Structures are given as structure tokens and as C-alpha cells.
Structure 1
Amino acid sequence: MEHAPCISQIATLLADPKRSAMMWALMDGIARQSEELALLAGLSPSSANAHLGRLFSGGLLKIEERGRKRFYRLAAPEVGAAVEALASATLASSPGNIAQVFKRTSALAKVQAAPSSLLRARLCEEHFGGTLAADLFQRLLDSGWIEQLDKRILVTHKGANQLASHGVFVQALAHSSTQVACACPDWSERRPHLGGTLGAALLQLFIQSGWLSVSGDSRALQVTPTGVRELDLFGKAPELEMAL
């Protein structure tokens, strides 16, 4: 085990609630001053600087000099991915079914320090999460494109046909070693979003269609005006679309 990565230092840095609050505030990839981060975390400026110094020394943050001002941002996209994975793991490791997990973790679900753009739509591994993703997951269930059996998510015959009409072929996705579909715990919602190779394929479809876009180092996904409309309709049953 001599080559195993040492994660204890990073775990110690993220274990402090004030430091984790400042990390949440930087999850959208935007650089922020220490004064703003202190306000978000409920710290005095001097205490915030001390915590930020530890996060910087630990390699989790980088500093940008803009004149006389110093701005902090996540050191790399992988840092944001790691923080989000820890939040999701907190939900997934809780005992009971997924509905009970989200009910018991309402405090985590609020995540008041996280930027609103990150809560709406963001990268979650190779798929997308946030409010829009959770809404989409529910519409796919309601319209019968997917169904939930215990903890398994299955694509129905109807869903496979509908997805194929959009250029997403479930049979091809099934050849991957990863699950085709799963309910991925969402740290900002009380509901799951769609993971697996299908979730990744839908993210690529939405980006290629110009509905979502990735910007810089941010994990937040930008939603275009067309995307707002199309994502709201995607997966709805035909009778529901006619009623709009």
C-alpha cells in the first residue's frame, strides 16, 4: 500500500464546517475575495484568512492577484468533483431507501452557501445534477420512460423507443460496464437525478443540442433560452405536451 494516495490531509481540511462552507461558495468556479467568503461562512475576516490559508497550503485553492486584491478559487475542477462526491456519498451511505435518505438529510439539501447557478444545473461526474436534472428524472418516471424497482432504475420499452427518436440508443449503452441508469443522490435536492450511461448520454445530447453549455472551470452548467423550454418538455407524455 506504499503507493496508495494519502487522503487524510484533504479530509481534515474539509471536515471543518466553516472551511467546507467556503468551498461550497467556490463550487461555481468563480473567484471570490476573502471578505465575501467570510460573510458566507459567518466568520470574521481574520478567521476567514486563516482558514483560506490552510486550504491554499493544502492545495485545494489557488490565489489570483488583481491589483491589491486577492481572489480565491478552486485549484482544479477535480477539487470541486471531490467535494461534490463527498456530499453525494453522505447521502448514499445513509441507511434506508432513497426517499428516506433525502427526508433525513434536509439540512444538507439546502446548502445555503452554494451559488444558485450551481443548484440549478451542474456537472455531476459524467451526467448532470441540480434542480433541472431532478425535475427531468421525475418526468421520465411519470411518463413511463423509466421505472423504479426497489433501488433499480430500468428503461421501459416505451422509453427506449422515445430515446431512440432523439438519437440515444439504450441497447448500445448497455454494452458499457457502467449501469445504464441509476438514481444518483443529489446533494442540493431531496430528490435524485439520473445517473449511469444514460445520464451521461443525455448530458451530451443536451450540450450538442445547444440547451446546456459548460463554461471554463465551473461545474455550473449554463442553460440557454432554448434549453429552458426544451428541458421542460423533454420526457413529458404526449398528452401532457398537448395540454400546454
Structure 2
Amino acid sequence: MSLAHLAGLLADPTRATFCTTLLDGRAWTAGELARHAGVAPSTASEHLSRLIAGGLLAEERQGRHRYVRLAGPEVAALIEDLASFHVPTAAPTAGRPSATPGSLREATRRSAEAHARTCYDHLAGRLGVAVSDAVLARGLVSDEDGTALTDRGRTWLTELNVELPARAGRPGGRPVVRTCLDWTERRSHLGGAFGAALCRTALDRTWVQRIGSGRALRVTPDGDRALRELLGVEL
């Protein structure tokens, strides 16, 4: 796909909203996305067809229902990176306030996502960055010659009964670990197979729970205890 074609796909506000919504890593129906974006079902269907044809989304059918999700972690990383890029604007002047959330509900959502959220299938926000700092400080991941999982890190995963996909790190497979710029913290959190495994473990063991239908997460008391004991993370 050419850069111009990709830019054209994401230039439409509705299609961009669909892609950022799907950063929660789950599959959504066309109707759910239509309601979320505030567009008619027929309009949503047209936009989704373009995103699927362009390779940004993948379609799954289950009975009468049509589900869509981001085509893969590479697409998620692209969308997250684009979301983190802000073009400088003129400083606010009298009578023209800086951009602020339009409602209390929007402000609450942004605050929750800044604290802890999913970035496709790994942890992001202050929680994600704190976990990233902790695994680097403990030598579970090294950034001395590119970001890589260390032998100590693999032993740590084994002790937690956490497995990485067999193809992780192999040609054609997903990177074992990669950095991902966090758009709220302006620092990196960890993605790749390692980051996904940590996020999946945190959800499965109820260390974190989703808040509503969005990307925001809540750290549970069990999670607070586990993160403190395993990584020394205190939020």
C-alpha cells in the first residue's frame, strides 16, 4: 500500500475513530462501531469495507454477525504511533482557549486511559510505563543493544507460568519485545509478544479490569499487590 493510500484511509475522521477504538484489542461489530462514532450503519459499513480492503482491519463472521478488528500488532503500532504525533499549534490567545475535553465524561475517560489502558494487546499509560521501567531495572529486559528479553526475563516468565508464542522472535513471527511510544506519557512502554503476555496475564488473573467498553483499565487490589511484589511497581 502506498503512503498516499494509507494517509487517505486514515484522513477521514470516522475511519480514524474506528481504528483508534479498535486499539482496545477486541473485535467490534459494525453496529457497535457505528453507535460509538455516531454514524449511520450504512455509513459505517462503507468505511469498514474500505479499511478491510486496505489491509488495516480484518473481518470475522460468526453466524449473522460481522466482527472487525485491527489486522495485527503492526497496524496497532502504526495507529498508536500516529496518535502520539501532534503538530504544534499556535499558543492560545484571549478568547481562544486551548483544547480541552468537551465534557466531564470525556475528561474522566481521558484521565482513566492516561492512568492505565490497553494499547492493542499490551499495557499502556502510567501503568505500562511503570512496568516497562521495572522490567528494565530488574534486568528482565535489556536495552543495551536493542530491546531484548534476557535469560533472567525468560526465567521470570517461566516462574510465573507465562508462555510466549512459539514463533515469537522467529522470521515472520512477532518480535519478542519492542518499544512503543506512549501517547499520554511521551515515553516508551513495552509491546511485542512479551508485552502482550504480561497484559494477558494481568487480565486473566484479574490484576487489572476493563472499565466499561473502552481501553481504560483499573488496577485491582490483587493487581496492586502482585505488581508491587513481582516488580516493585507502586502507582
Bucket of the pairwise TM-score, normalised by the shorter protein: 0.5 to 0.7
Q: Which residue of 1 aligns with 2:182?
A: 186
Tell me if 1:163 matches 2:157. Answer: yes
Pick from 84, 88, 101 the counterpart of residue 81 of structure 2: 88
CA, structure 1 residues 224+10, in 2 after alignment: closer, same or farther (shift >3 Å)? same
Tell me if 1:142 matches 2:125. Answer: no
Q: Number of paired residues?
A: 172
Q: What pairs with 1:197-216 in structure 2 (closer than 5 Å)? A: 197-216=193-212
**Whole-Å separation in 1 of the counterparts to 2:9 and 2:128:** 33
Q: CA RMSD in A?
A: 4.4
Give the aligned residue type for 2:150: T
CA, structure 1 residues 204+163, in 2 after alignment: closer, same or farther (shift >3 Å)? same
Give the aligned residue type for 2:226: E
**Whole-Å separation in 1 of the counterparts to 2:131 and 2:6:** 38
**Whole-Å separation in 2 of the counterparts to 1:115 and 1:88:** 17
Q: Which residue of 2 aligns with 1:33?
A: none
1:137, 1:193 within 8 Å by CA — same for their partners in 2? Answer: yes
Q: Which residue of 2 aligns with 1:8?
A: 8
Give the aligned residue type for 1:180: V
Q: Which residue of 2 aligns with 1:56?
A: 39
**Whole-Å separation in 2 of the counterparts to 1:225 and 1:121:** 14
**Whole-Å separation in 2 of the counterparts to 1:115 and 1:182:** 25
Deviations 1:206-238 (A, max 9, x none): 1121101235521112221221232233334xx
CA, structure 1 residues 205+6, in 2 after alignment: closer, same or farther (shift >3 Å)? closer
- The 10-residue stretch of structure 1 (216-225 or 164-173) with the greater mean CA deviation from structure 2: 164-173
Report the secondary structure of 1:179's partner residue.
Answer: coil
Pick from 139, 148, 153 the counterpart of residue 147 of structure 2: 153
Structure 1: 5+ residue stretches without partners: 29-53, 61-75, 95-103, 105-110
Structure 1 position 77, deviation (Å): 8.8
Q: What pairs with 1:106-145 in structure 2 (closer than 5 Å)? A: 113=101, 115-145=110-140
Structure 2: 5+ residue stretches without partners: 25-36, 46-66, 89-98, 102-108
**Whole-Å separation in 1 of the counterparts to 2:68 and 2:222:** 27
Tell me if 1:235 matches 2:231. Answer: yes
Q: What pairs with 1:66-81 in structure 2 (closer than 5 Å)? A: none
Give the aligned residue type for 1:161: T
**Whole-Å separation in 1 of the counterparts to 2:6 and 2:173:** 28
Identity of aligned residues (%): 27
Deviations 1:187-218 (A, max 9, x none): 11122111001111111111121101235521
**Whole-Å separation in 2 of the counterparts to 1:146 and 1:181:** 8
Q: Which residue of 2 aligns with 1:43?
A: none
**Whole-Å separation in 2 of the counterparts to 1:224 and 1:6:** 39
2:165, 2:193 within 8 Å by CA — same for their partners in 1? Answer: no
TM-score normalised per structure 1: 0.54
1:133, 1:194 within 8 Å by CA — same for their partners in 2? Answer: yes
TM-score normalised per structure 2: 0.56
Structure 1 position 10, deviation (Å): 4.9
1:77, 1:217 within 8 Å by CA — same for their partners in 2? Answer: no
Report the secondary structure of 1:115's partner residue.
Answer: helix
Q: Which residue of 2 aligns with 1:32?
A: none
